[in-house]
Amino acid sequence: MTLQHQADPGTLSGAMHRVLQILGTKIAALVTSRTEGSVYAWGNPERPDSPPMSLALLLDTATFQKTGETPLFDVYRSQLEALTGQAAPKKPIGDVFLEKLQADGAFGNVASALLQAKDENSSGGSDISRQEGLALIALIETSIREIKDVESAVRQEASL
């Protein structure tokens, strides 16, 4: 499916339009486990539909892996800034111990998702399905970013 509607890039439908330009409707549907019609509707400015946050995260993750862009997150951030009149907070590099705890949590999320994916009652049975694989990769990449934050915190604290 090719989007026939032009959407304002500063809106969720506009951001979703961009995601679909990058990923295509078929891949977006696979990533979210939704129908092509559902993900297509999210990019249509004439429909009030938008993906839930959990699916928007998966879509932005897949888009980021392909191009480095996060269209949905960027719209959420700009809407937050417009509503609050302040720049949205960026995650500062914090205390080494706090960063380590966040990295532990991220790695725990990977372990939990891996156990669920390998469960014989999961969508792929005891094999990892495509959707489970995409979700695991997103969690692994988050874990990698978190461990890099630990490294940055150590370098900052040690003046390296």
Greatest mean pLDDT among 16-30, 56-70, 77-91: 16-30
Non-local (6+) Cβ contacts of 77 within 8 A are: 88
The answer to whether 129 and 135 are in contact (CB under 8 A) is no
What DSSP string describes 83-108?
HHSSPPPP-----HHHHHHHHHHHHH
Check whether 26 has a pLDDT greater than 80.
Answer: yes
| Listed residue (75, 73, 55, 67) closest to 134, CA to CA | 55
Plot region of 41 (φ>0 → left; ψ -120 to 50 → alpha; else → beta): alpha
| Distance spanning both ends of the chain, measured CA to CA | 51
pLDDT for 4 = 55
Interval 13-24 mean pLDDT: 91
Structure tokens at 130: 């495509």
Interval 37-50 mean pLDDT: 85
The answer to whether 146 and 138 are in contact (CB under 8 A) is no
pLDDT for 87 = 78
pTM score, two decimals?
0.55
